[in-house]
Amino acid sequence: MFLETKGTSDWWDGACVYQIYPRSFYDSDSDGVGDLRGIIKKLDYLAGKPESLGINAIWISPFYPSPLADFGYDVSDYRGIDPLFGSMVDFDRLVQEAHLRGVRVIIDFVPNHSSNQHTWFKESLSGRESPKRNWYVWKDPKPDGSPPNNWMSVFGGSAWEFEESSQQYYLHTFLKQQPDLNWDNQDLRKEMKEIMKFWLEKGVDGLRIDAVSWLSKDLQFRDDPVNPRYRENIDDSYHKLLHTCSSQGSKLFDYLNEMIDVCRGYENKFMITEAYPDVQGEISHYLKYYQRLNHNICIPFNFECISFPWDAGTYKNFVDLFQEALLPGQPAIYNMGNHDKSRLASRLGRDSAKTAAMLLLSLPGIPFIYYGDEIGMQDVYIPKNKAKDPFTTPEGVGRDPSRTPMQWNEYMNAGFSTTEPWLPLSTDYKQCNVESESRYNESFLNLYKDLIAFRKQSTVLRVGAYQSLELGKNIYGFVRENLTDKVTVVLNFSNETEIIDSKALKGRVVLSTYRDIGSNFNLNGHLKLRPHEGVFIAPS
Ligand code: GLC
Ligand code: MG
C-alpha cells in the first residue's frame, strides 16, 4: 500500500489540468462567444506568472467546424477550426503561447460520431453503393418497417433514424445530427488515426477521447436488455435499458489500443478516455480500462465523485477501494466537474465546494478543474427561451447551467464580452468574479492557488502513497507519503465543528480551507476543525 503511485517523468504525472469550455471562457472579438484568441489572452491568468492559478495543462472542449447542434461535439471537419472560434493560425499560436508558459495542451477528440453535415456523411447518404456508406452504421428496417433493434439515443428516443431515399436506418447514439461512425471499418479507422497525427504533429500534448463506450457495438446488433433497476421518473430514460449490446463491444479495447499506438509514435503524448459506467459505482468498469489499455499513456476518467452524496464515508470507502485496486503506476483521474454536469458549488454548496477542492487537489492521480470552479461559480438558471443545449434531463434542465460565461470582473457582461453573451450570466457575477476573488483572503481563488502551489512543490501529494485514516463519521482523512515526506489531509464533511482525537494527527497545520492558520500551530493527537474545514498537516 505504501508503494509510490508512480514516479516517472511523464508530464501528466500528478499534473493539474484545467478544462476550458471555449465558448464560455473569453470572447476576444465581441460576438458574444468565447474563442481561441480569448484563451490566449487569458493564459497569464492560468500559468506563467507569480499571481497565476498555476495549472500544468489545459483541456479545450471542441473548436472544430461544426453546425453546433451539440455545441462542437458534432464535428463537420476534423482538421479545421470553426471560424466562430478563430483560425488555424490562432490555434498554432495558442499551442505556442501555452508551451511558453509551461502549459500542456489537451484537445477533445470526438471519434464516435461526426456531424451529419460532414462530407463523409453526405457521401454516405448518397446511396447504398457509396464508398463512404460503411463509414457509418446503416441497417435495414425490421420486416414491419420498425428500427433494426431497441437501441436508444443517450439524448432520448430511438438511436435509429430512417432515411427515405435508401430505405435504411442509420445509427446515432446522440442527436440525429450526430451519426455514429463505424469503427469496424478499417478505412474509417485509418483516417481517424491520420487525424490524430495531424493534431499531435501540431504539438498537441494530449487527447481527451469523447464518448468511447460506443466505439464498438455488438457484432450481431442484438437488443439491449431491460434494466431491472430502472426507476421511472427518477432515472434518465436512457437507463431503461442496460447498454450491453449497443456499447462496450468486444473490439473496444482493440480500437483504443490502435489510438494509443498512434500516440506511442511520438514522445510524451497522453490520452484520457470518457466512459461512464452503465451501473454507478462499478469499479470493474474502470479497471478494465487500466487492464486492457496501456496505462502509461491512456487513463480513464473516474466519474463516481460527480454523483456521490457529500458524505465522508462514501468518499472514503470508494477511494479506498479504488486505490487498493490500482497497481503502482496506474494513476486515477477523479473527476468532480465538467461541462456535462451540475457545478461543484451548486451540487455541494459553496462551503463544501472548498472542502471538495482540497480533496480533489490532494487525492492521488491527476486532478481536473472545470473552468470557473476555482472562483466558486454556480449553475445559472436559464429561462426556457434562452436555453441552448439540445439535451434535457427529466427535470427539464439541460447542461447550459454549468456552461455559462466565465466571470472575470464586476463590469459589463462580467468582463467576458463587450456584447450580450451566448448564454445568460450568473446574477451573482458582481460578487463572484476573478477580480473580486483575488482581493479577499478567504476566497475560492486564493484557496485554489494555494492548493495548486502546494501540490506543485509536494512530491507526496502528486505521486506519494495513499492510506486513509479512521477519524469519525463526518471526517475523511488520509495520509500521502513516501520515504522522506508526509502530508496528512483531514476534511470535515459536516457543517459543525468537529473535534478529533487520534494519535495519527501529529505535526502542524500548513494549510486550511479557511486560509488563516499560522504555520507553527502544533498538534498533539488532537485537532479541532471548523464547519467544512479541511487542513493539510505536515510533520513538525
Ligand atoms: C460527451 C461530451 C458531451 C457530448 C457527448 C456527445 O459525453 O462530454 O458534451 O454531448 O459526448 O459527443
Ligand atoms: Mg468571439
pLDDT in tens, 156-200: 999 999 999 999 999 999 999 999 999 999 999 999 999 999 999
Instruction: Check if 274 is active-site.
Output: yes
Mean pLDDT of 256-261: 98
The minimum-distance atom of ligand 1 relative to the CA of 110 is 12
Instruction: With a cut of 70, say whether residue 518 has pLDDT above it.
Output: no
Q: Are 366 and 15 in contact (CB under 8 A)?
A: yes
Query: Residue 434's closest CA among 60, 94, 41, 37?
Result: 41
Strands ordered across the beta sheet of 368-370: 333-334, 298-302, 270-273, 206-209, 104-109, 57-60, 17-20, 368-370
- In this prediction, residue 2 has a pLDDT band, given cuts at 50, 70 and 90, of very low
Closest-CA residue to 370 (of 348, 335, 338, 395) = 338
Could you tell me where in the chain the CATH 2.60.40.1180 domains are found?
A: 463-538
Residue of 73, 112, 118, 209 to test ligand 1 pocket, by largest number of atoms within 8 Å of CB: 73
Please choose from 71, 116, 153, 174 the residue to mutate so as to test ligand 1's pocket, defined by most ligand atoms within 8 A of CB.
174
Distance in Å, CA 2 to ligand 1 centroid: 37
**Catalytic-role residue among 180, 210, 304, 374:** 210
Residue showing cell 468498469: 285
Residue 423 has pLDDT above 60, yes or no: yes
Residue type present at position 174: F
What's the confidence (pLDDT) of residue 295? 76
**CATH architecture of the region 11-112+186-216+251-452:** Alpha-Beta Barrel (3.20)
pLDDT at 397: 77
Domain with CATH 3.90.400.10 in the chain: 119-171
The architecture (CATH level 2) of 463-538 comes to Sandwich (2.60)
pLDDT in tens, 329-384: 899 999 999 999 999 999 999 999 999 999 999 999 999 999 999 999 999 999 98
User: What pLDDT is attached to residue 394?
Assistant: 58
Question: What is residue 239's predicted lDDT score, i.e. its pLDDT?
Answer: 93
Q: What is the CATH architecture assignment of 119-171?
A: Alpha-Beta Complex (3.90)
List, for residues 456-490, the tens digit of each pLDDT value: 999 999 999 999 999 999 999 999 999 999 999 99
- Name the residue with higher pLDDT: 280 or 363: 363
Question: In ligand 1, which atom is closest to the CA atom of 73?
Answer: 12
Q: How many angstroms separate the alpha carbon of residue 409 from the centre of ligand 2?
A: 18
The model's confidence at residue 8, banded by pLDDT at 50, 70 and 90, is: low
Contact criterion met (CB below 8 Å) for 260 and 294: yes
Q: Whose CA is nearest to atom 12 of ligand 1?
A: 73
Using the predicted structure, report yes or no on whether residue 286 has a pLDDT greater than 50: yes
Whether the per-residue pLDDT at 208 is higher than 60: the answer is yes
Distance CA 385, CA 225 (A): 37
Give the per-residue pLDDT at 4.
46
Amino acid 280: pLDDT: 83
- Please state, for a pLDDT cut of 70, what percent of the chain lies above it: 97
Q: 340 CB under 6 A from ligand 1? A: yes
pTM of the complete model: 0.97
Nearest to 523 by CA among 500, 539, 510, 507: 507
Question: Residue 323 pLDDT more than 70?
Answer: yes
Residues whose CB falls within 8 Å of the CB of residue 72, separated by 6 or more in sequence, listed in order: 22, 23, 61, 62, 63, 64, 66, 82, 108
**Mean pLDDT value across residues 245-252:** 98
CB of 211 sitting under 6 A from ligand 1: yes
* pLDDT of amino acid 517: 75
The closest of 214, 293, 219, 207 to 258, measured between CA atoms, is 293
Distance 339 CA to ligand 1 centre (A): 9
For 389-415, write each residue's pLDDT tens digit: 988 765 667 999 999 999 999 999 999
Residues of the chain with CATH 3.20.20.80: 11-112+186-216+251-452
The CA distance from 214 to 138, in Å, is 15
Ligand 1 pocket, residue 70 CB under 6 Å: yes
What pLDDT shows up at residue 396? 65
Cell numbers given for 425: 450570466
Nearest residue (CA) to ligand 1, atom 6? 73
What does the pLDDT read at residue 328? Answer: 87
**Identity at 484, one-letter amino acid code:** T
How high does pLDDT run on average in the chain?
95
pLDDT digits (tens, 9 = 90+) for 20-53: 999 999 999 999 999 999 999 999 999 999 999 9
Question: Which ligand places an atom closest to the C-alpha of 24?
Answer: 2
The finding on whether 289 has its CB within 6 A of some atom of ligand 1 is no
User: How are beta strands 368-370 and 206-209 bridged, if at all?
Assistant: unpaired
- How many angstroms separate the alpha carbon of residue 200 from the centre of ligand 1? 22
Residue 6 pLDDT greater than 50, yes or no: no
